[in-house]
């Protein structure tokens, strides 16, 4: 007998509720107990004791972005691989060949990025 689909997710919702609830309860509790003596010097940004210079909300460099792009490519790839892996026993050699081609193209992409020094953190 299959389990009732939404029961599973009811439990997940309970988990989420508790996961969010615990910190909130804890914060509320600590709010009752803790002292409150914030003053301007105390709430300045910590920068090893020196006066903070400028904001830290800055842009990040392109190199970083390239990793993110690679991540996107391979993340989608892995998502594509999962159904294939599950159905591996049933889909036959043709699907294996298709996947080998798919993987080979992606592996070439990785190799290309490698040789183009995308993978160097500079």
Contact 84, 95 (CB under 8 A): yes
Phi, then psi, of 4 in degrees rounded to 5: -70, 120
- Rounded to a whole number of angstroms, the minimum distance from the CB of residue 80 to another protein is 11
C-beta of 65: minimal distance to another protein in Å? Answer: 11
The position carrying tokens 């904001």 is 55
Residue 77: other Cβ atoms inside 10 A? 14
Question: Tokens standing for 98?
Answer: 């298709």
What part of residues 59-118 is at the interface with another protein (CB under 8 A)? 60, 64, 67-68, 70-71, 74-75, 78, 81-82, 85-89, 92-93, 96, 99-100, 103, 105-108, 110-116
Cβ neighbors of 73 (< 8 A, separation 6 or more) are 106, 109
Footprint on residues 32-61 left by another protein (CB under 8 A): 33-38, 40, 42-48, 52, 55-58, 60
What number of chain residues touch another protein (CB under 8 A)?
79
Contacts (CB under 8 A) with another protein, residues 1-30: 1-4, 7-12, 14-16, 18-20, 22-24, 26-27, 29-30
């Amino acid at each position: 007998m299959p389990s009732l689909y939404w029961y599973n997710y009811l439990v997940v919702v309970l988990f989420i509720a508790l996961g969010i609830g615990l910190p909130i309860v804890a914060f509320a509790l600590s709010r009752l107990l803790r002292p409150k003596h914030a003053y301007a010097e105390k709430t300045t940004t910590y920068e090893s004791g020196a006066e903070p210079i400028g904001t830290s909300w800055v842009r990040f460099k392109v190199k970083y972005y390239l990793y993110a792009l690679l991540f996107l490519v391979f993340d989608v790839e892995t998502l594509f691989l999962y159904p294939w892996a599950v159905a591996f026993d049933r889909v036959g050699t043709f699907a294996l060949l298709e996947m080998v081609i798919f993987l080979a193209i992606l592996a070439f992409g990785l190799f290309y990025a490698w040789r183009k020094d995308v993978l160097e953190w500079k």
